[in-house]
């Protein structure tokens, strides 16, 4: 008799455990989602003027554009490095925010190829700083060897998001 009772009890417990609360037992409304905050940053740098055949030409203009959509700890957006000459990198980022530090996977197009790499952004009240440091290949893309040793560059100022 006990051999047949135990499987029967297990089956009943599994059925009751999987059924969950009915609509009348709890609030059927979806959980409240954190609002999305958009932050944008733009840095435009102009290189030294060049003299070509006696004419002075303005220096190259390079642009760095970052658009972040932050929902709670989740971060999505765009990161575009647009030098005047070549080696443009444009793409999307997906990651998370913790204590003002965005850690994200950057999927980009550069010179006709697609690549992936980890990026670090430190958000500050008056802008954003981009982390650099030793990188290693892991999981099929470049990641920081030790993110705690990243060095954060000059401040990229905020701009109004489009």
Q: Could you give the CA distance from residue 22 to residue 11 in angstroms, rounded to a whole number?
A: 20
Could you report the per-residue pLDDT of 110-124, keeping only the tens digit for each? 988 999 999 999 999
Q: What is the mean predicted confidence (pLDDT) over 85-112?
A: 93
CA-based torsion, 97, 108, 61, 153: positive or negative: positive
Alpha carbon 112 to its chain centroid, in Å, reads 22
Phi, psi of 22 (to 5 degrees): -80, 170
Is residue 22 pLDDT above 70, yes or no? Answer: no
Q: Which two tokens stand for residue 35?
A: 């609002």
**Percent of the chain surpassing pLDDT 70:** 80
- Joined tokens for residue 54: 């006696």
Residue 123 three-state SS: strand
Select the more confidently predicted residue: 118 or 11.
118
Q: What are the tens digits of pLDDT across the range 60-86?
A: 688 999 999 999 999 999 999 988 877
Where are the chain's structural domains? 37-159
Is this prediction's pTM over 0.85? Answer: no
Whole-number average pLDDT of the chain: 83
| CA–CA distance, 49 with 44 (Å, rounded to integer) | 15
């Amino acid at each position: 008799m006990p051999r047949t009772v135990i499987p029967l009890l297990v089956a009943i417990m599994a059925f009751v455990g999987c059924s969950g609360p009915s609509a009348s037992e709890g609030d059927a409304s979806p959980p409240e989602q954190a609002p999305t905050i958009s932050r944008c940053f733009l840095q435009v740098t102009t290189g030294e003027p060049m003299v070509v055949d006696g004419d002075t030409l303005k220096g190259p203009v390079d642009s760095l554009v970052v658009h972040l959509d932050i929902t709670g700890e989740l971060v999505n957006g765009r990161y575009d490095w647009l030098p005047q000459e070549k080696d443009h990198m444009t793409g999307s980022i997906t990651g998370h925010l913790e204590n003002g530090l965005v850690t994200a996977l950057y999927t980009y197009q550069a010179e006709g190829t697609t690549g992936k790499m980890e990026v670090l952004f430190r958000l500050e009240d008056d802008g954003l700083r981009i982390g650099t440091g030793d990188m290693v290949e892991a999981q099929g893309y470049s990641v920081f060897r030790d993110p705690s040793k990243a060095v954060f560059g000059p401040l990229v100022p905020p701009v109004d998001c489009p």
